[in-house]
Amino acid sequence: MFSNSSILIFTDLDGTLLNRDTFEFDSIKPFLKELINKDIIIIPNSSKTEDEIIEFNNEANFQFPFISENGSIIHNLNFLNHEFPDKIMLAKNIHEIQKIFDKNISQDLKSKCKVISNLTISEQTQIFGLPENKLKKVFKRSCTIPIIFEGNNEEKLSLKNLLLKIGLDYMEGGRVLNLGDRVNKADAMKKIIQMLETKFKCKPKTIAVGDNHNDLEMLQNSDIPCLVKNDKFLKKNLQIKNLIVSKQAAPEGWVEIVKLALEKIK
């Protein structure tokens, strides 16, 4: 439950809280429990689907409120206050997104967008780094379409600009592009903060933790932005004030920078 002294930690999962390759986080479960016992509210904010984050909640043995599909849907906000809804949709549904995409994007650019759900199981497991039995949860999507873009950087920028003109966008994560509505992780984060401010007449302190491109807006809009070490992500030229960068990779890097962020707040 939320209180006036609550601190909110909005966190990406893959490569941030979960190990980049194995998706394990067993070593930091005691620290997560310690935070929860201190009434610090952890809100996963991920490109993952609802089913995937429910699985994470079950593995963590705690029912966190969470944000799925890069800011598309807010879930379980009623855990913070019983008057809040259990689900808030911020994005168009996947069928509407597909229809807009098909109608407005040229055949040339479409041909360079490889929809991952249409690939072989072997290709899908290689792209996501997941076993076959976990792929079903990955593709049970409401608002986003994972793709691999096979064009050059100029064509990729052209696709980005066209998508923005028609009210869509793509989010670039560690493994794929997620085609979706023009929303991001920060939009969902700000929606939650605004609802809490309105209800409780106070502004909570926020920590945001990420590791990649699709986390940047979330970091830029938090009180304490934190970046977990990611050797594949170019950190130069990041215009993020007071950014904390971990020396370790996930999941240990998550603990490292959350401890530093909490010290800053206190």
pLDDT of 131: 92
Bridge partners, 148 (sequence order): 114
pLDDT of 251: 98
Q: Do domains 7-90+184-265 and 94-181 have the same CATH topology?
A: no
Give the count of alpha carbons within 13 A of 106, CB side only. Answer: 9
Q: pLDDT at residue 1 above 90? A: no
pLDDT of 113: 96
Please state the CATH superfamily assignment of the domain spanning residues 94-181 in this structure.
Putative mannosyl-3-phosphoglycerate phosphatase; domain 2 (3.30.980.20)
pLDDT of 248: 97
Structure tokens at 222: 């938090």
pLDDT of 65: 98
pLDDT of 237: 72
Domain boundaries, the chain: 7-90+184-265, 94-181
Each residue's pLDDT tens digit, 177-191: 999 999 999 999 999
CB 189 within 8 A of CB 206: yes
Name the more confident of 234 and 14: 14
Q: What percent of the chain has pLDDT over 70?
A: 98
Q: Which CATH architecture has domain 7-90+184-265?
A: 3-Layer(aba) Sandwich (3.40)
Each residue's pLDDT tens digit, 44-91: 999 999 999 999 999 999 999 999 999 999 999 999 999 999 999 999
Q: Which range is least confidently modeled, 68-72, 93-97, 127-131, 142-146?
A: 127-131
CB 55 within 8 A of CB 75: no
The rounded distance, in Å, linking the Cα atoms of 200 and 185 is: 23
Give the strands of the sheet with 168-172, arranged side by side. Answer: 113-115, 145-149, 177-181, 168-172
The rounded distance, in Å, linking the Cα atoms of 262 and 13 is: 19
CB 177 within 8 A of CB 171: yes
The rounded distance, in Å, linking the Cα atoms of 4 and 21 is: 38
Mean of per-residue pLDDT scores for the chain: 95
The rounded distance, in Å, linking the Cα atoms of 15 and 65 is: 20
